[in-house]
Structure 1
Amino acid sequence: MTRPLLMAACLLAAAPAFAQSSGDPARDPTRTEVWTHVPAVVATPVGGAPSDAIVLFDGKDTSAWESEQGGRVPWTVADGAMTVVPGSKGIRTTQKFCDIQLHVEWRTPTQTQGFDGQHRGNSGIFLQEVYELQVLDSYNNPTYPNGQAASLYKQAIPLVNASRAPGQWQAYDIIWKAPRFSAGGGLTSPARITVLHNGVLVQDDTVLSGKTEYIGAPSYPVHGCAPIYLQEHDSKVSYRNIWVRAL
């Protein structure tokens, strides 16, 4: 490079600094730097819960749960998993939640002979006890789409079917925004949910029309924060590695 060209390049490179030192506010990068409200540090170990999460089930301890009727959890715990006992009852957290980030891993039984549709690996994750995210073996198992795995039961069909074969562990990562009600009991903001099924987006900021109903149209009961509920639906569905973060 010739000396004149080298000098020109140096002058261009120095232009921003020159503009700042010359007092030109439009060229001052510090005007758009925000140094307050520094985010808290959250450790994220590989395969583990974030450091600010509440661990609801670590493979052994069920103390964060109770039977839906109260009392001890009626399901079996073995090999790092908690498995539904058909004919028992569902379980719910002893703690109540509103807006949350929730991670749940689940597995449907390998024995599928004689079972199909809603009778194959059926369970459910209920947010605030009344809004169901469906758990079902939806691998080569046709059923009504608003009742398959990752549906908001009878309300919202998942964007895709990301199901793995029965017997394989699957995961839901859920962002839940609770509904809001006025002092007079009117709905001011509906519930919303985003779900990743095995890392794939299946519910994208989906708005719920109300609580889950098996028959009839959904509607909103007035309520506050409430437990997370896992359904017993006559199938040996297993759960593990459950944690939650309040938002």
Structure 2
Amino acid sequence: MIKPLLVTAGLLAAIPVFAQAGGDPARDPARTEVWKPVPASVATPAGGAPSDATVLFDGKDVSAWESEQGGPVPWRLADGALTVVPGSKGIRTRQRFCDIQLHVEWRTPAATAGFDGQNRGNSGVFLQDLYELQVLDSYNNPTYANGQAGSIYKQAMPLVNASRAPGQWQAYDIIWKAPRFSPGGGLVSPARITVLHNGVLVQDDTVLAGRTEYIGAPSYAPHDCAPISLQEHDSAVSYRNIWVREL
């Protein structure tokens, strides 16, 4: 008696499948399957840039960069890193960008004696040359929260402090959505930014109130795509492994 029961149970279990296949077309699972267009394949080597990325700095070649005033990069290139020369100028990409995914690795000086607050490992990543994601040694280094590492300078403090100790390499992974302006110059949509600092979310689709200002409130003025800039702020901050994907 056991075998017939098992066969009957198997037939009952199959009924919904046959009913679905020959029944109401609206219940056909294929109706909600999208096959085209097929997403492009992107190779993602461990520790390397995605295959569709533009490598901006690979530890050797600085040809993607220039001084913020034009001309050669004034920073020191050694041991696979590009290090700020205090008292020089910032640098910017020769290429202009709007919406991007950006990866930047950075390191503040290991020696901290005599430096604190904004004077310790200060630099910045500027999106479209106008909007600053702060670079700072924020490891046991109190300062104003919207000026610490991971902040949108003077606008948005990070969700958490994910800083490593000075002298250690750190990473920013950034999703940047550029502001949009009408033909008449009015703001259609503000800039937005998502940032992971050392793999930890610190800016979650943050809406910017305007360009970075040291004094006064931020505001917008119409502009187009623009370079990515790295700031010189009197500290020997180092950078390496910089790549970008246009979105």
Same fold (TM over 0.5): yes
The within-5 A match list for 1:156-175 is 156-175=156-175
User: How far does residue 16 in structure 1 lie from its aligned partner after superposition?
Assistant: 4.1
- Of all paired residues, the percent bearing the same amino acid is 83
TM-score when normalising by structure 2: 0.97
In structure 2, how many angstroms separate the alpha carbons of the residues matched to 1:114 and 1:205?
Answer: 36
Equivalent-residue separation in structure 2 for 1:221 and 1:11 (angstroms) = 70
2:183 matched residue in structure 1: 183
Q: Distance in 1 between matches of 2:67 and 2:17?
A: 66
Q: Which runs of 5+ in 2 are unaligned?
A: none
SS at 2:241's partner residue?
strand
> How many residues of Structure 1 are paired with residues of Structure 2 in the alignment?
247
State the partner residue of 2:209. 209
CA drift of 1:17 comes to 3.2
How much has 1:9 moved relative to structure 2? 2.9
The alignment partner of 2:55 has SS state of strand
Q: For 1:17-96, what aligned pairs fall within 5 Å after superposition?
A: 17-96=17-96
How far off its partner does 1:37 sit? 1.2
The Cα offsets for residues 68-97 of structure 1, whole Å up to 9 and x where unpaired, read as 010110001111100000000000000000
Q: Partners of 1:8 and 1:50 in 2: how far apart?
A: 54
Instruction: Give the whole-Å Cα distance in 1 for the aligned partners of 2:189 and 2:12.
Output: 53
* Cα deviation code 1:47-76 (max 9, x no counterpart): 000000000000000000000010110001
- Structure 1 residue matching 2:26: 3-state secondary structure: helix
Report whether the alignment pairs 1:226 with 2:221. Answer: no
Runs of at least 4 residues off by over 6 Å = none
Q: Secondary structure at the match of 1:63?
A: coil
Aligned twin of 1:107 = 107
Per-residue CA deviations over 1:118-142 (Å, capped at 9, x if unaligned) read 0000000000000000000000000
